[in-house]
């Protein structure tokens, strides 16, 4: 995926077609996403389910299971964070937990960096499940605990995986767009930095919305075993789950 946001995309005809879209008036997020999917090489697609990414998925599942088993206050304490504002603290704690595991196992990667970012946004989205219409800073601990416990106790842990895939593709496609878009700021398609930021947001939103159609229900029993597995075991068991989610997501977006 390149080593930084500013690392230009590959010099291939497929990526040139992506870049050409940025020079058009009012570039379409849907067209951009479809063109990026067509430009992705096999190595990049596989990297979206590498051990660092899968570790992030495992941490989200583990966190949900811990809330159901011991309550949210104890889970937050175990993660080494405070309790207010609860959504922000949970996101920070899960991100830290994932980074720790990735470092310990020496699995660091650019896709993994983006997946750690996606943990934060996924955790915020999970926290809001039972608090519709309330800002992240106002979400109450009891509401978050109820929502996460319900996922764990009603055979819906696979929905955590589905949500994470959408947020992971959000971060990945932001990265793909951002690494080229600065070249086009000031042009017809992207007149200002504000236009560039809005286009990145629109591309990311299109990815998340498309991934609402993911169906990973067949993996429910797999994800339910996460709390019994060590880090390598989770990677072994969850890699097919993440790979299938990415495959479905890219297929939907193509």
Say how far apart CA 44 and CA 196 lie, in whole Å.
Answer: 24
- CB-based contact 9:176 (threshold 8 Å): yes
pTM for the whole thing? 0.94
Which residues, 6+ apart, have CB-to-CB distance to 150 below 8 Å?
A: 156
Phi-psi region of 80 (alpha: psi -120 to 50; beta: other; left: phi over 0): left
- CB-based contact 189:23 (threshold 8 Å): yes
The SS3 assignment for 4 reads coil
Cα 213-215-219 angle, rounded to 5 deg: 160
Cα dihedral 15→16→18→24 (10° resolution): 170
Q: Which tokens go with 224?
A: 């339910």
Q: What does the pLDDT profile of the chain (254 residues) look like in tens digits?
A: 433 445 789 999 999 999 999 999 999 999 999 999 999 999 999 999 999 999 999 999 999 999 999 999 999 999 999 999 999 999 999 999 999 999 999 999 999 999 999 999 999 999 888 666 677 778 899 999 999 999 999 999 999 999 999 999 999 999 999 999 999 999 999 999 999 999 999 999 999 999 999 999 999 999 999 999 999 999 999 999 999 999 999 999 99
The SS3 assignment for 185 reads strand
Q: Which tokens go with 74?
A: 């104890």
- CB-based contact 23:123 (threshold 8 Å): no
- CB-based contact 85:137 (threshold 8 Å): yes
């Amino acid at each position: 995926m390149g080593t930084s946001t500013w690392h230009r995309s590959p010099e291939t005809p497929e990526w040139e077609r992506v870049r050409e879209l940025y020079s058009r008036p009012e570039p379409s997020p849907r067209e951009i996403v479809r063109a990026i999917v067509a430009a992705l090489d096999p190595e990049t697609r596989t990297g979206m389910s590498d051990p660092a990414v899968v570790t992030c998925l495992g941490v989200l599942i583990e966190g949900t299971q811990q809330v159901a088993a011991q309550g949210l206050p104890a889970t937050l304490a175990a993660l080494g964070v405070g309790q207010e504002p609860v959504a922000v603290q949970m996101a920070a704690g899960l991100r830290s937990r994932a980074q720790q595991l990735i470092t310990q196992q020496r699995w660091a990667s650019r896709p993994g960096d983006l997946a750690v970012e996606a943990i934060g946004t996924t955790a915020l989205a999970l926290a809001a499940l039972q608090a519709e219409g309330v800002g992240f800073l106002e979400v109450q601990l009891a509401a978050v605990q109820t929502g996460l416990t319900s996922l764990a106790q009603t055979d819906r842990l696979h929905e955590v995986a589905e949500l994470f895939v959408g947020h992971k593709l959000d971060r990945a496609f932001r990265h793909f767009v951002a690494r080229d878009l600065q070249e086009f700021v000031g042009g017809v398609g992207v007149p200002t930095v504000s236009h560039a930021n809005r286009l990145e947001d629109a591309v990311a939103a299109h990815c998340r919305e498309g991934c609402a159609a993911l169906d990973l229900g067949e993996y429910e029993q797999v994800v339910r075993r996460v709390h019994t597995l060590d880090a390598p075991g989770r990677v072994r068991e969850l890699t097919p789950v993440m790979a299938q989610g990415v495959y479905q997501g890219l297929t939907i977006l193509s």
